Amino acid sequence: MKTVLNIVLGLCIVALIYICYASIMGPINFENEKKIRDNAVIARLLDIRKAQLEYRNLHDQQYTDSFDVLINFVKTQKLPFIYKEGELDDDQLEKGLTEKKAVDIVNKAKRTGNYSEVKKWGLENFKRDTMWVAVLDTVFPKGFNADSMRYIPYGNGAEFEMAIRNDTAKSGAPFCLLEVKAPYDIYLSGLDKQEIINLKDMQTKLGKYCGLKIGDLETANNNAGNWE
């Protein structure tokens, strides 16, 4: 009987030790895994932001709320790149020469074959050429998979929530707002449910979004991330 009691007491002690260990390590393990997933989601959100900014530059300051459109843009669009050779010196600038005037002089010489003005202004080594380079070759690293932009990491195929809103400033100038979101419930799925509930409860009490996002449809914030 005494042996049985000792075994039961031993098992109880082991169980208590495990419970104490779990109560300490549970939140720590959750935070470690959350950090890994946060970083993956943030990296994807930053890729989306880069793509949207380039898209806006070529579309009258408008973002797109369609991943199909954005991904196709990244895959196929080319961006203007100004190749520069030579700089205007202080003497040329003091005489009233500007970049635009210098480009006009050089371009006119190319059209007419008359390089007298080029020599007059000392622009023999001044070149400004516009080249068109693919978005994938300039904005993103080699091997970047544009198709992956729509998917939330660790989200089991779930897509980011992306929306835009057009508004007008007090000055009357139109502007476009962008918001891209990834809820905790999606990318933290599979982790400790109570920890997720606690995290969401804390965010709600602070009046913050329960997840990671860039931009905001209510307030212009230059597409800042809510972690920045």
What one-character-per-residue DSSP string does 116-161 give? HHHHHHT-TT-EEEEEEEEHHHHTS-TT--GGGGGBPTTSTTPBPE
Please indicate, yes or no, whether residues 146 and 214 belong to a single structural domain of this protein: yes
Please report which confidence band the pLDDT of residue 11 belongs to, taking 50, 70 and 90 as the band edges.
Answer: low
16 within some domain = no
Domain boundary among 137, 162, 183: 137
pLDDT digits (tens, 9 = 90+) for 18-40: 455 455 556 889 999 999 999 99
Give helix then strand counts, H and E, for the chain: 8, 5
Cβ 220 vs Cβ 168: under 8 Å: no
Please indicate, yes or no, whether residues 156 and 227 belong to a single structural domain of this protein: yes
What value does the CA radius of gyration of the chain take, rounded to a whole number of Å?
29
11 within some domain = no
Domain boundary among 89, 114, 137: 137
Question: Is a pLDDT exceeding 90 seen at residue 143?
Answer: no
Range 59-67 average pLDDT: 95
pTM for the full predicted model: 0.74
Q: How far is CA 201 from CA 36, 91, 206, 208, in A?
A: 21, 65, 9, 10
Q: Identify the residue with better confidence: 182 or 172.
A: 182
Please indicate, yes or no, whether residues 187 and 209 belong to a single structural domain of this protein: yes
Please indicate, yes or no, whether residues 66 and 160 belong to a single structural domain of this protein: yes
Its domain, for residue 128, covers 81-137
Q: Which two tokens mark 134?
A: 């693919």
110 within some domain = yes
Please indicate, yes or no, whether residues 158 and 208 belong to a single structural domain of this protein: yes
DSSP H stretches of helix in 139-217: 184-187, 193-205
**Beta-bridge mates of residue 77:** none
What is the count of structural domains for the chain? 2
28 within some domain = no
